[in-house]
Chain A
Amino acid sequence: MSKPKTKGKPSAGKAAGANRTRKWLKSLAEMEYKKMILYPLVVFLLALILLAVNFPILGIDLQGGVVVTAYGVDANPDQLAKDLSAKLGVDVRVESFTGVDTKGVRVYAPVGTDPTEIIQIMRETYPDAEYTHSEVQPTFGEIAQKQGLRAIALAFIAMAVVVFLFFRHPVPSFTIIFSALSDMAIAIAMMGIFGIELTTATIAALLMLIGYTVDSNILLTTKLLRRKEDTVEDAYLSAVSTGFTMSTTTLGALIVLWFISTSQTIDNIAIVLIFGLLADFMNTWVLNAGVLKWYLSRAPRGGSA
């Protein structure tokens, strides 16, 4: 069916460019499956420990509070926090941020503070700034928290059911589900380290992660289980090359997004996805691959999905 080669076919150019990666991938392909399973599990446990000691801070939309954002303000956040705290009589926290064409600060104040008062005080020093504010009561924060948890739990279960329906084998299905769980855990642990708040937006990003990370796992599992004309190593290499292309394009797009946007919502969604995708590199191509190798070596005729 295939036609004779025409010029500019990708296989030739690619091989020249990515020799070192190839070698590394080859060593991955030949790695012993016990190690492949062990290392990611250690990372997962580390993430869990990190989560236990340093869980990300809840954003104001999940625990209540007031935030005033001023755009077009170039201020020393510590000094501003001191000034505002003194004038308002409550402790405020100030964070500065830089976008492509604008600088600004975000002022976080406890529940019950009047945002218009903060704006009034700031207007005295920065009359030309553009202000926005939002405030959330703890009761609503609680509702949002509960719903966030419920959304994640249900989405996870739904994903698990769909994966199971598609593959119908407990070991591969369970590994995909576990990979997604580990991706999420690592992403949340990274959020804790980098001080990214858990908000409704980042919860959305975590849910999105389910979709993204399951992609590459499904690809790998499909190739390894369904592609019987190749050896396991060859199938793995072919899956890895596709998977890396997938992940790098997505990562590239997300990094660009993160750089350009000054919207906190989009920034946070992008960064959490970046964390998750990085974690997924390991969980798919090392952990899941290791389990599948072990699974296939144990039951050579196992995959008929």
Chain B
Amino acid sequence: MKKRTKRLLLNWRVLLLILFLVGSIATLALKPLTFGIDISGGVALVAQTEHPVDSDTMQLVVDSLQKRLNTLGLRDITVEAQGDQIVLVKVANVSTAEQANQIKAVIESQGVFYMEFTGTIFGTGNDIEYVGIYQIKPDNSWAVPFRISKSAAEKFAELAYGKVGWPVDMFLDPPVNSLMVVPDSVYRLMNSTEFNAEAPEAPTLMERIGKAFNITVVSYANQSADEIAKLAQGKDKIVLIDVPQDLQNELEKMNLTVRYIPREPGESDHQIVVKALGLYGPYSLGEGLTVGEPQQDVQITGSAPDRLTAEQEASTIYTVLKSGSLPVKLTVVGMEFISPRLGEDFKNQALYAGLAALIAVLLIVYFHYRNLRIAIPVASTSLFEAIIILGFAALINWNLDLPSIAGIIAAIGTGVDQQVVITDELLSGEKSTKITRRASVLKRMGRAFFVIFASAATTIAAMSFLLVYFVGTLKGFAFTTILGVLIGILITRPAYAEIAKYLLGED
């Protein structure tokens, strides 16, 4: 008997299980598990870019969101890109719903910033490397110094060569690729030299935005909604400025995206254009920048009638430059807020539920076989499996969320199933006829493992698509299921087979 015990303990499959088990317990002791927002509490936001972007742009989005949220003084922030359009933001330690909503507002208020000259975009918010403190001079002129990237500086130097006094425009969230329908007076203003700084020979604002952003401006002359819709073909949206509001409803009924900008009391044509385009400027190009030499350190200057206005203008530009650094507009399309206290409850529940499920397995297996020598190994192997999965999760800093826990439960469920298959194959040797007995243990185990590998392979195949294709929180579910199945077929199942053979006297 002793010899058998020794042989079992020295069996490499059993050794492997012990090794992994000890390793996992050590890992868990040294490196506590981290939990997802739905357990630790906090807010999870799903943001969507306005159109699909390439991976470089996505990385820029992730970086700048991270920076922006950091400056808010929030801790424990993770920003993660999923696919080409989705960004997942998770912030832990958020204790009230109001705080959660503030974070949402911050993400959505991030603008897309463009610097444009003669209808060419030479830089975006990402080209702004540094923004200095603005200065106000005694004559109420102001200056905001900032540094642009080398590539933007080079592009600009080439564009601006010899064009003293030409207009430089900055835009925050302009209506890219749109049709603008404006009153005739606004149309004439945009088509004039009003926005040309000190260079009447430069292209008009209408030409510049047409070339840079594919914005088409039409004068409103009682066109019908159908006519406008026809003009807007191929455009992303229609911007209606100070025209009858009925048009908005009619166009929206045709499933078109419409933005309506009414004229506020006392608002001038100039003001309404600036507002609709998100235009800052135009700024007159200083002589120093027109010699063809790239300069990264530049400044925007302006002058105001009084000190207060100067301060306002300078601080607006300062803020725009500083925060408008997203390469693409983001909308929060989903958010979930869990209060930390509730998360704690969930964690305990998951733990109790897991333990209770384990006890249920123990009892049911016992009632099936009327044998504790089977029930205890089955239940404890499942427990070991859970410990190894958790140890692995701790090791790679996997955030355990509720779906991940569901995945662990799923993996353990299939684990128990497979242990039952092994047990029954081992037991079948003795209750059948002589002929069966000739089928060796090896053959029966082979059959059991064929079933196990086939079902493991199907589960892994099915779940890997979830892991790769799904956005949102279900990745955790797929991950732990696959991990559990792998640990099962590689470590715990072979070890259980050895232990069961030993206990049932079949080795």
Contacts and interface: CB of A to CB of B under 8 A. Distances in A.
Whether A and B are associated in the same complex: the answer reads: yes
Tell me the interface secondary structure of chain B in the complex: helix
Contacts, number: 276
A250 interface: yes
Given A11-B431, A166-B454, A249 B365 contact: yes
Contacts of A2: 429-430, 437, 441, 505-506
Contacts of A255: 360
A269 to B, nearest CB: 5
Contacts of B85: 143
B28 interface: no
B334 A136 contact: yes
A249 B451 contact: no
Given A229-B435, A256-B353, A263-B349, A11 B430 contact: yes
Interface in A174-213: 200-201, 203-204, 207-208, 210-212
Contact of B402 (A61, A203, A234, A265): A265
B473 interface: yes
Interface string A11-39: 10110010000000000000000000000
Interface stretch (B145-153, B262-270, B458-466): B458-466
A260 B454 contact: no
Given A166-B457, A230-B432, A249-B417, A140 B334 contact: yes
A41 B49 CA distance: 46
B435 A245 contact: no
Nearest to A69: B342
Contact of A158 (B339, B373, B465, B471): B465
Contacts of A81: none
Contact of B339 (A132, A140, A201, A212): A132
A257 interface: yes
Nearest to B446: A226
B352 interface: yes
A120 B481 CA distance: 39
Interface of B: 38, 46, 48, 85-86, 97-98, 100-101, 331-339, 341-342, 345-346, 349-350, 352-353, 356-361, 363-365, 367-371, 373-374, 402-403, 405-406, 409-410, 412-414, 416-418, 420-421, 424, 427-432, 435-441, 447, 450-451, 454-455, 457-459, 461-466, 469-474, 477-478, 481, 485, 505-506
3 shortest A-B CB distances, which residue pairs? A140-B333, A211-B459, A13-B370
Given A116-B98, A211-B485, 6 more contacts: A133-B100, A151-B465, A158-B465, A253-B357, A262-B345, A263-B346
